[in-house]
Amino acid sequence: MLAYRFHVVNVASDAMPQTHLMLYWHMHQPFYKDLSEGTYSMPWTRLHAWKDYYGMVAMLREFPDVHVTFNYVPSLVAQLEDYIADNVQEEPYRIAFKPAGQLTGDERMSLLDFAFDINRENLLNRFTRFRELFEKREATQEQAEPFRLFTTHDVLDLQVLSQLAWFDEIYLESDREIRGLVDKGRRYSEADKATLRRKGIELFKGILEECRTGIERGQIEVSTSPFYHPILPLLCNTDIASESHPGVKLPRRTFRHPEDARSQLRAAVELHQRVFGVRPAGLWPSEGSVSDKVLRLAIQEGFEWAATDEGVLGRSLQIAFYRQSDGTTSGGHELYRPHRFQDGDRSIGLFFRDHHISDLIGFVYSRMDPHAAAADLHHRIRAAARSTGNKPAVVSVILDGENAWEYFRRSGREFLKTFYGRVAADSEMRAVTASEALSIAECGTLHHVVPGSWINANFDVWIGAAEDNLAWDLLNDARDFFAMKSGDPALDPEKVRLAEQELWIAEGSDWCWWYGPEHSSAHDAEFDLLYRKHLSNIYHLLGGSPPDELAVPIKRPAVRARTTEPTAPIGPQIDGRVTNYFEWLGAGVYSPDYRSGSMHGGAECVEAMYFGTGKHDVYLRVDFRAGILEEYSQLEIRVNVDGTSRARLNAFVSPRKLGTVQFWKGSEPVLVPLPTGDKVRVAFEQVFELGLDYSLLGLHAGEKTRIQISLWANDLPLQVIPPEGWITIDLTEEVVRW
């Protein structure tokens, strides 16, 4: 077993420096794995692992007196272990290393898409040939099939360079084989690509090994977070959001599961002990989110310290922190020391990040000369420490340890090494780990913290917006289903375990980070779909059917679908075939425009949906994209009709064959065929056709109804039409208006 070994400084020593720097790097990526399918939807854990995690720890070998704290989120570590074991199904990874001559046209097109999803200034421009290929791709944007203009040698070079560009600076400069690939520059071979893949796995392995070595040296401390990075105060009780933001709009129902918060903390400790060989002393509660309840939980689970933002401290003490022209901070005597949150006769240490200095690293210094930036950072920390008068200061600089570096020259290594060198040479400053800082500092005392996070000392990023609240409501429903079904002795225990993991994943903070108005990226659709798949998996694993709401994107797209309004009543023959051109003449037509990305990450299953009414019936026809039923051996079509009571028809189809059909009114299933034999007519051969009698829906001519369809495979949502809501139809025997 490993053990933490720290330099503990005697508080009474005359030689003790006045400035203690507690530098804390947080390492996290969303959980991209779909446990049900065993696939990774996005490559960012792999790419950041190659670029950031190893070098951030390894460079400290050059500065043995500089001690640093790292936070590794357990769900990130679990993903790293998959990559270390070379046990990952990730499509961009597979395509990047598949023999170039064997790539299909679709795979080449995918390569052209994901290879250039990279910081162009600092990563793409590393290699002249990579830049050439990017410019060629830009010049072919208007081509129908641009991949045909890329030769096999182009593809090979693109495969190698698009991955090599993400490699850690230390490897690029010091590893002989990687250096050889860099020097070669172009006209790579399949053997070169095999070398690159092997070195990538070596780099994965080196990450955790370097952390363990740093712990053994006593130079680094590694803390943890709740397993899948949930916002713990909201997990305990979503109503807590109104304390930090009175009047915030809350979800339909309160989510209140402190037992899940405790379970995620315990699972985090268990993984940390297994991987790093030592129990974590510290906790970074996801996004620095704290409350009294969360801190009491942390104390009960044996954590010795946690960290959050200065905004939480300011609101808790009812003081403000202002930066003065000389670099000092008003209120700095409170900010630049740890505090102890008391819970009876027990307590936990709390560090509060200097928001200003931390954000300079994350968002400003990348635009400066790295040596000037390092000097400025060093100067600001010294100035901040003067805020405590003659008392020793602990300046807590806490921030993301990965995402900022792609905006820095040479991945920020030049900046960091220059800064570490300045700290090591400063006799009045010592860089210490969090546990070391806690052992030497005179702490303040807190009996209550105003709940909040590192962003504006509230939870507005994760709750309050319509999309956020909908995500919480869907999570609440899935949590209730899990509670109802997980105790069933007839269920496979392994499926119950996986369902619990899917629940914990869905409780993570990353989904609501992208919902709402605060954040957006080119991958909103993928995140949205993955969240809904995690929730759907809970139902699927426990023998249930996911609700229709999970087919509908939460992140609302800007839709550019082509729509034709109905112009006349129709009376088609429901036989699953386009019997003649005229039978659907007069129907409305909804045609998705896939170029706009309106399906939000879903499959492109439907070519068009026709809809209309006749004398007594509502009619619907769905035309599928060619080959869709070869891709999915069976599809479930769910047709929702909103009448006096909500009705739903479920139909399973396979190539040219209609399978099981069920019709539901409210929550009650109705046998098909019905006793009347003609109120529900369903057919599928070339197309899917449906006729529903008004009376079955509780409707009459002159009223309105709304229709929406969703496509499912293996109880997972593929596509919803229309994604922005419903199509409204007037039920009339005259010209249809909608």
Domain of residue 362, CATH code:
3.20.110.20
Domain co-membership, 279 together with 407: yes
Q: Of 176, 209, 242, which marks where a domain is finished?
A: 209
The whole-model pTM stands at 0.83
The vertex-643 CA angle with 641 and 647, nearest 5°, equals: 45
Q: Does the structure show a pLDDT above 70 at 599? A: no
Domain co-membership, 336 together with 441: yes
Give the pLDDT confidence score for residue 712 in this predicted structure.
84
Q: Does the structure show a pLDDT above 50 at 16? A: no
The whole domain housing 134 covers: 86-209
Give tens-digit pLDDT for 521-572. Answer: 888 889 999 999 999 999 999 999 999 999 999 987 654 567 788 888 888 9
Domain co-membership, 717 together with 619: yes
Say if 616 falls within a structural domain.
Answer: yes
* Distinct helix (H) and strand (E) counts, the chain: 25, 28
Q: Specify whether the CB–CB gap between 433 and 68 falls below 8 A.
A: yes
Say if 604 falls within a structural domain.
Answer: yes
Question: d(Cα 389, Cα 18) in Å, to the nearest integer?
Answer: 10
Domain co-membership, 374 together with 316: yes
The vertex-276 CA angle with 19 and 89, nearest 5°, equals: 120
Helix (H, G, I), strand (E, B) or coil at 343: strand
Higher pLDDT, 143 or 581: 143
Peptide bond into 246 cis (omega under 30): no
Give tens-digit pLDDT for 295-343. Answer: 999 999 999 999 999 999 999 999 999 999 899 999 999 999 999 999 9
Q: Alpha-carbon Rg of the chain, whole angstroms?
A: 29
Domain co-membership, 118 together with 92: yes
Higher pLDDT, 557 or 662: 662
Task: Determine whether 478 is exposed, middle or buried from the number of CB atoms within 10 Å of its CB (0-12, 13-18, 19+).
Answer: buried
Give residue 178's identity as a one-letter amino acid code: I
Residue 542 has what DSSP assignment? T
Say if 713 falls within a structural domain.
Answer: yes
Domain co-membership, 203 together with 289: no
Question: d(Cα 49, Cα 477) in Å, to the nearest integer?
Answer: 35
Residue 240 has what DSSP assignment? G
Say if 215 falls within a structural domain.
Answer: no
Q: Does the structure show a pLDDT above 70 at 665? A: yes
Q: Does the structure show a pLDDT above 50 at 199? A: yes
Say if 3 falls within a structural domain.
Answer: no
Say if 557 falls within a structural domain.
Answer: no
Question: d(Cα 693, Cα 616) in Å, to the nearest integer?
Answer: 6
Question: d(Cα 69, Cα 432) in Å, to the nearest integer?
Answer: 8
Question: d(Cα 90, Cα 200) in Å, to the nearest integer?
Answer: 15
Residue 432 has what DSSP assignment? E
Give residue 293's identity as a one-letter amino acid code: K
Domain co-membership, 645 together with 670: yes
Say if 52 falls within a structural domain.
Answer: no
* Cβ atoms < 10 Å from Cβ of 534: 27
Residue 75 has what DSSP assignment? H
Question: d(Cα 658, Cα 684) in Å, to the nearest integer?
Answer: 5
Q: Cα–Cα distances in Å, from 36 out to 530, 533, 628, 644, 716? A: 11, 9, 22, 37, 10
Domain co-membership, 494 together with 523: yes
Q: Does the structure show a pLDDT above 80 at 675? A: no
Write the Ramachandran bin of 223: left for phi over 0, alpha for psi from -120 to 50, otherwise beta.
beta
Total domains, the chain? 4
CATH of the domain at 503: 1.20.1430.10
Mean pLDDT of the 441-454 span = 96
Say if 351 falls within a structural domain.
Answer: yes
Domain co-membership, 632 together with 678: yes
Domain co-membership, 194 together with 297: no
